[in-house]
Structure 1
Amino acid sequence: MKKLNHFLSSYIATIILLAFYAFGLAAATFIEKYHGTDVAKSLIYYSPLFFSLQFLMVVNFIMIIIKYRYFQRRRWALIVVHFAFIVILLGALITHLFGKDGMVHIREGETTNQITLKTPEGIKYETLPFTLKLVDFRLIRYPGSESPSSYESDLLVEYADGKIQKTKVYMNNVLNVKGYRFFQASFDKDEMGTLLSVNKDGLGKTITYSGYFLLLIGFILVFTTKNSRFRQLNLQLKEVKKTYRSTITWLLFLVFPCTLSAQHMPPINMMEAVQKNAIDPQHAARFGELPMQWNGRIVPVNTFSSEILRKVHKELTIGKLNSDQFLLSFLSMPQMWMQVPFIAVSNKEISHYYQLPLDYCAYFQLIDEEGNYVLMTKLQEAYYKLPAERSSFDKDLIKLDERVNIVSQLLNCQLLCIFPHPTDSIHTWYAPGKDLSTFPKEDSLFITRSFAWYLSEVNSALKSGNWNKPNQLLQVIGEYQKRNDTASQINHRKLNAEIRYNRLDIFGHCQIGYFILGGLLVVFAFIGLFKPKKWLDTVIKILTGGIFLIFMYHLYGMGLRAYISGYAPWSNSYETMVYAGWATILAGFVFGRKSSTVPLALATLFGGIILFVSELNWMDPQINPLVPVLKSPWLMFHVAILVAAYGFFGVSFLLGIANLTMMVFYDNNSLISYRVKELSIINQMALMIGLALMCIGTFLGAIWANESWGRYWGWDPKETWALITIVMYTIVTHIHLIKKGNSDWLFNVLSIIAFSSVLMTFFGVNYFFSGMHSYGQNDAMKGIIFYLSIPFVLISFLAVFSYKRSRRSEQIITFFD
């Protein structure tokens, strides 16, 4: 018994319990993938063994508090943070044992007082102390789109005393009646019925939210109280710098990522012809400013043309033509463009099978002499297969067909929706090639004739060089748009802002700037290692100033995107990557002042890499309307804080690599030893900030989930891996408590390994699992996961080589101390 008590009151037990907890959570996500959610909950999440593990973690903390007299030592920050987690676990237990979770389905005009409850024993029914009547259900779509903007239910609540209450339920707007909370979950396909989720968990919610509040208070104390770990690390850092002032002694080999565009353009005369007959850039720009409706938004034609060219051609220009020139040239000279090889073919097997050119093919090459679509037979075979059974040939063929369909619709003038319907109830805009029978006769004639006339005048201007007539016709079309924009959807300020955003390519330029300035910062730091000069300080300050200017330009780009979209710019994978790059460099600035240029240089390079990844073809930079569940202020706080945590974890990852690299090159040089010690302290401080942000961001997401659909934790793979990330970094930040684990080498190795959980949360979940947080599985993600695994293999060798050197480094530090 004494041995058990001794073990449970030890820090070793803390690390072991946390490791088992993380392993169990990770195993559960894979069990869920292959055997379903119910099996994962039965074997892991709600199993007696897992509850016992959590109970032992609580016992371990209480026994450590008593053993090490934390109350007497007034370690209030530590006590409050850990006690908050106990309260959160208690709230979760009460919710699990006593909370009610169910559904209610009502058709329009019907009344019910029954809800269907989900229990471990099966499905049960419960009678409500009131009745609900669905008066009306509405699915509101974005103008001119099938995408839902909102879905809402008008209800009548009738109480036992005869009192009747009118109310409305929609996403992020909850109905609370006698402790029962109703959330808009789904609806019937005919849009005549509603499906509401029901939750009753007053006590569990109160306790859990109290835990979240205590957690926030605890983290504030962590960074403000005098005897907290963070303040102690800050004092240690000052002591290290005071004891031995040294120049930066580290080397980072930078490989600038580069893209090689090997465009195979057969010498077809039509390509030369369309290049010679280029649309006047000024007129093309005016054409690009024209408003149009696309994907539920009013956008400038420039946005549409850029996206079309990116999807079809995989580039933002074609030869010397920009996207606006390409689109107008295509519409005015379709016969020529049918013979131009500009449709991207990404599979060599497809090119070989259909005898197409490599990389790009022409539209006419996909139509045989009898007018048949040559891809049709194989395409039907691909669609008949289950998605999991499709080969890379099948998948790439489907993608090629999507590009061909876009070109086909452009040929038929069916995509350019620039004409608003004057009386349409959902304010749809139409393209000239669409069915215009619902328009007044005069309007339909104007649309077909004016656009055909405009394209004819464009052709004439190409010959004469006089663009006055096309400019006048663009003005006529613009006046028609203003006259018939009954919903006032045209906002010229936003349209101009979007054109500016498209043309500036802000994040592309920031990426280049980060690589160049970050690389120079590395070079000058390396020179300063051997030949310290005063002029180096001036150069470093100039480079730091340049990075700051790019950093602010990066922020301007995110702000501009937020203004255009109308929501926080981190709602999809592309936007989140862009924000993660900015947050990483912010973390570099936070710690750059503490250790010369090392954290900032590493963060700048890493920020450039993140932006580089965001620009890859598998990322979609398109601005889309928000789905209903994301229309919540919680989105801004939850994602912003969470991704900021990733930025600090990224800086920690690079600091760990830098430290191990210096250990490898250590050669009886105490300068490097002290620099490793200094950067290791900064690494610990960065992890503490990252862990605090990760906890706060995760639990803000839990509050969002509870306010949106009635549960703050559903063991979705994304949620689970976020929790695993918290546990992993908790292990890293607590490893110093073990006597044998209090070494810079072990800490830096673990800070690197822990970053794999961030990559799994951010990338891996989208590839390996499916869930409500996944951005959608992507074939290119497989390659991303493969390339991400290579650095960790190399880091394994680095860890081995640096181990023996680190022992000698620690001995020298001890000798000098």
Structure 2
Amino acid sequence: MKQKYLLRNPFTLFIHIALVIILAGAIVTHFCGIQGKITLTTDEQPKVDFEKDSGPGEAVLPFPLKLKDVEIIYYPGTSTPMDFKSVIDVNGSEIDVSMNKIGTYRDWRFYQSAMGDGSATLALSHDPIGILITYIGYALLGISMLGFFFQRSTPWRALFKALRKYSLILFLLTPTFISEASTPTIQRPLAANLGKVCVYWNDRIAPMQTMALDVTRSLYGADSYQGMTAEQVLAGWLFYFDEWWGDYTRYNPRILEIKPDNISDKQKKEAAKLSLIQWLGTGDAFKIYPYNAGDGKIEWLSLTGRRPAAMSLEQWKFMQTTMPEIKTLIMRGKNIEANEVLDSLVVKQVYYAGQDNIPSSRLMQLERVYNKAGRPAYAGIVAFGLSILLFFVSFSSDTNRRGLRFTGNIMVWILLIFIVGIISCIWILSRHIPLSNGPETMLFMALVSAIGACVVRRSDIKGALTLICGLCLMVAAMGSKTPKIGALMPVLGSPLLSIHVMLVMIAYVLFLLMAVLSAVALLSRSHTKKEYLSVVNRLILTPAVCLLAAGIFIGAVWANQSWGRYWGWDPKETCALIMLLIYALPVHWGSRRMACFRKPRVLHIYLLLAVLTVAFTYFGANYLLPGLHSYA
């Protein structure tokens, strides 16, 4: 019986064969692969000895390596590294090695690991057989998982018939029922103009409005203070530091208890605030003067910055006089003249940095709009209310359902457009796919949930997806009301990483959806409703597990491309593997040994408990446990 089933459904068999092949590849890599590292400098002779981490044989390369050149590539207009590149000579052949770009020679693979002044450390590996076997396993797994969904005689395909039956039964059983601030600052229009000045902040060039929002949220936990905008708050600290420091000690007297030589765990947050205030007070935080040395690297100098030896006297004079002049004009009440000097400062920034090394005025305007409108917390509150409406629609009478459903659908589409707008802004401004940190991955999960809510027709499932969307938006806004935009670490600039994160996040959304549907089923008194939602959950479960598996293995390929290993038993990797195994169990509900998962109540309870692994994998491994995947 089992043999006939596998013959009719070969892709089911191939999935398990692929897993065996992947395991075999890992075993070959463990016993036969060679891993190590080698440090080269440009002024030394070719080397053959390296530091071996694992593998058989001696730590000697069969060919000499010489480092010819090293280069750090920076983000335009900044001193933030975008990539690290080494050029090595192997028997007269030049090989380029950079982040996410492997150098290969005679089955030896070289990975960029570290870089110094005229030196580079390369990770190296020799594992041609293990890599070949593992990649064959990955390819077979991917093809087999796709082919599985096209097999006709599987229990998973049979669920569609059951779904149509329960949908009809449920249809027939539907019931028929500004205060003025006391702390000195500048006027709001002048502060808004100050927010247009470019500043080097968070390893990128941003409008000073972004810096103002970050500072205000860090010190006061809000976007404003005493009716003043964030720009006015920052201007107060810039031009009236003593008065603002005195006001802050009254607002937060605990900051006076900080002793630099003895900081307790409870005082760490207050110590960070004190450090920020001191940074503002010295003027070092205001890096608004670009200096182009002509070597492709733009250095941004602060108000108290040193004078580079090659800087012209004209630019140095501009640095020394601009902000004092603005402050003098403000103290005299000459706001129009101060505005004119601010406008000239923006023009001079472009002049000294170079047009190609500074974001355009349109990009700066886009970021200012994003700072004001990109509020996922508010959208999350709307999504919560919308989910309640959609759940109500699923239990309302036909006469009330049409109008409510139409209203709900329109609001879901508006929510989707808003999320797409936020993600698009982050993508454009950061110049990378926004999947590099916690808030960005949560926004992507919210996007997937919103798309699902727009596509599905049933109001209960639409409501569950909208609820998940709201949760993701609220979590994305926990760190700050608008997710911060930052430069991408060089190692994260691989398209494989983006695909890996996308697949895993989509799987997370599906796992959350199953948990919500299970909760609804357990709270429902209708046995038919429980049966129907168990069918829906089993339909969702298989593609969710396949997406998670594909995401994990694509992540392994990316890891091998970046630093030469598939798996490191990092806390996040271990948690993801455990989660995959837990969710893979009910996938086999069609077998006799797993027949318990055919019972709706058992399945719903299991899925409701299993979602705890998703929560721990995301929050525990990303924020609490140390490791390569940590966002903390």
The answer for the alignment partner of 1:572 in structure 2 is 437
Deviation by residue 1:647-689 (Cα, 9 ceiling, x = unmatched):
1111011111111111xxx2xxxxx211211111111112222
Q: 2:614 aligns with which of 758, 767, 781?
A: 758
Scaled by the length of structure 2, what TM-score is found?
Answer: 0.92
* Offset, 1:319: 1.7
The answer for the alignment partner of 2:477 in structure 1 is 615
The answer for the alignment partner of 1:112 in structure 2 is 47
Measure, in 2, the Cα distance between the counterparts of 1:745 and 1:289.
58
Report SS of the residue matched to 1:410: helix
The answer for the alignment partner of 2:293 in structure 1 is 423
Report SS of the residue matched to 1:273: coil
2:27 pairs with 1:93: yes
Measure, in 2, the Cα distance between the counterparts of 1:605 and 1:150.
40
Measure, in 1, the Cα distance between the counterparts of 2:168 and 2:624.
49
Measure, in 1, the Cα distance between the counterparts of 2:74 and 2:169.
66
* Offset, 1:139: 4.2
The answer for the alignment partner of 1:381 in structure 2 is 262
Q: 1:606 aligns with which of 468, 474, 499?
A: 468
Q: 1:636 aligns with which of 488, 498, 503?
A: 498
Q: 2:366 aligns with which of 494, 497, 512?
A: 497
The answer for the alignment partner of 1:28 in structure 2 is none
Deviation by residue 1:619-653 (Cα, 9 ceiling, x = unmatched):
99321211111011112111111111101111011
Q: 2:252 aligns with which of 360, 363, 379?
A: 360
Deviation by residue 1:141-170 (Cα, 9 ceiling, x = unmatched):
557877543322221111xxxxx1122211
Deviation by residue 1:153-206 (Cα, 9 ceiling, x = unmatched):
221111xxxxx1122211111110000001111245xx3432211111212212
The answer for the alignment partner of 1:371 in structure 2 is none
2:525 pairs with 1:680: no
Is contact 1:108-1:193 (8 Å) kept?
yes
The answer for the alignment partner of 2:245 in structure 1 is 338
Cα RMSD, aligned residues only: 2.5
Measure, in 2, the Cα distance between the counterparts of 1:414 and 1:539.
55
Report SS of the residue matched to 1:224: coil
Q: What amino acid is aligned across from residue 522 of structure 1 in structure 2?
A: F
* Offset, 1:243: 4.4
* Residues 1:244 and 1:770: Cα distance change in structure 2 (over 3 Å): closer
* Residues 1:558 and 1:226: Cα distance change in structure 2 (over 3 Å): same
* Offset, 1:107: 2.6
2:187 pairs with 1:280: yes
Q: Which of 394-403 and 494-503 deviates more?
A: 394-403
Q: 2:84 aligns with which of 130, 145, 151?
A: 151
Seq. identity, %: 25
Q: What amino acid is aligned across from residue 517 of structure 1 in structure 2?
A: L
Q: What amino acid is aligned across from residue 732 of structure 1 in structure 2?
A: P
2:6 pairs with 1:78: no
Is contact 1:588-1:600 (8 Å) kept?
yes
2:129 pairs with 1:222: no
2:631 pairs with 1:769: no
Report SS of the residue matched to 1:674: helix
Matching of residues 653-668 of structure 1 within 5 Å? 653-662=515-524, 666=525
* Residues 1:504 and 1:186: Cα distance change in structure 2 (over 3 Å): same
Measure, in 2, the Cα distance between the counterparts of 1:181 and 1:140.
22
> Structure 1, unaligned stretches of length 5 or more?
1-65, 159-163, 250-268, 344-356, 367-373, 383-393, 667-671, 777-817
Measure, in 2, the Cα distance between the counterparts of 1:338 and 1:381.
22
The answer for the alignment partner of 1:178 in structure 2 is 106
Q: Which of 101-110 and 630-639 deviates more?
A: 101-110
Matching of residues 599-748 of structure 1 within 5 Å? 599-617=461-479, 621-662=483-524, 666=525, 672-737=526-591, 738-748=594-604
Is contact 1:506-1:554 (8 Å) kept?
no
Q: 2:348 aligns with which of 476, 480, 502?
A: 480
Measure, in 2, the Cα distance between the counterparts of 1:567 and 1:503.
21
Deviation by residue 1:478-523 (Cα, 9 ceiling, x = unmatched):
2211211136223222211111111103423321220221122233
Deviation by residue 1:41-88 (Cα, 9 ceiling, x = unmatched):
xxxxxxxxxxxxxxxxxxxxxxxxx7442244x113322222221222
Measure, in 2, the Cα distance between the counterparts of 1:138 and 1:67.
59
Measure, in 1, the Cα distance between the counterparts of 2:292 and 2:406.
59
Measure, in 2, the Cα distance between the counterparts of 1:497 and 1:144.
18
2:392 pairs with 1:511: no
Measure, in 2, the Cα distance between the counterparts of 1:411 and 1:514.
41
Name the count of aligned residue pairs.
Answer: 623
Matching of residues 457-468 of structure 1 within 5 Å? 457-461=329-333, 467-468=335-336
Q: Which of 609-618 and 228-237 deviates more?
A: 609-618
The answer for the alignment partner of 2:312 in structure 1 is 440
Report SS of the residue matched to 1:104: strand
Matching of residues 794-805 of structure 1 within 5 Å? none
Is contact 1:332-1:456 (8 Å) kept?
no
2:133 pairs with 1:232: no
Report SS of the residue matched to 1:173: coil
Is contact 2:504-2:551 (8 Å) kept?
yes
The answer for the alignment partner of 1:793 in structure 2 is none
Measure, in 1, the Cα distance between the counterparts of 2:6 and 2:282.
77
* Residues 1:765 and 1:618: Cα distance change in structure 2 (over 3 Å): farther
Is contact 1:143-1:428 (8 Å) kept?
no
Q: 2:37 aligns with which of 92, 98, 103?
A: 103
* Offset, 1:697: 0.8
* Offset, 1:576: 1.2
Scaled by the length of structure 1, what TM-score is found?
Answer: 0.72
Measure, in 1, the Cα distance between the counterparts of 2:206 and 2:281.
21
Is contact 1:102-1:198 (8 Å) kept?
yes
* Residues 1:542 and 1:76: Cα distance change in structure 2 (over 3 Å): farther
Report SS of the residue matched to 1:339: helix
* Residues 1:410 and 1:126: Cα distance change in structure 2 (over 3 Å): closer
* Offset, 1:419: 1.3
Measure, in 1, the Cα distance between the counterparts of 2:271 and 2:306.
24
The answer for the alignment partner of 1:555 in structure 2 is 420
The answer for the alignment partner of 1:199 in structure 2 is 125
Is contact 2:6-2:12 (8 Å) kept?
no
Measure, in 1, the Cα distance between the counterparts of 2:445 and 2:138.
25
Deviation by residue 1:116-142 (Cα, 9 ceiling, x = unmatched):
333378xx6333221101123344555
Report SS of the residue matched to 1:298: strand
Is contact 1:582-1:607 (8 Å) kept?
yes
Report SS of the residue matched to 2:603: helix
Q: What amino acid is aligned across from residue 49 of structure 2 in structure 1?
A: Q
Q: What amino acid is aligned across from residue 338 of structure 2 in structure 1?
A: P
Matching of residues 322-333 of structure 1 within 5 Å? 322-333=229-240
* Residues 1:67 and 1:476: Cα distance change in structure 2 (over 3 Å): closer
> Structure 2, unaligned stretches of length 5 or more?
none
Measure, in 2, the Cα distance between the counterparts of 1:588 and 1:148.
40
Measure, in 2, the Cα distance between the counterparts of 1:120 and 1:422.
48
**Greater C-alpha Rg:** 1
Is contact 2:288-2:301 (8 Å) kept?
yes
The answer for the alignment partner of 2:202 in structure 1 is 295
Is contact 2:283-2:304 (8 Å) kept?
yes
Measure, in 2, the Cα distance between the counterparts of 1:644 and 1:176.
34
Is contact 2:199-2:207 (8 Å) kept?
yes
Is contact 1:580-1:647 (8 Å) kept?
yes
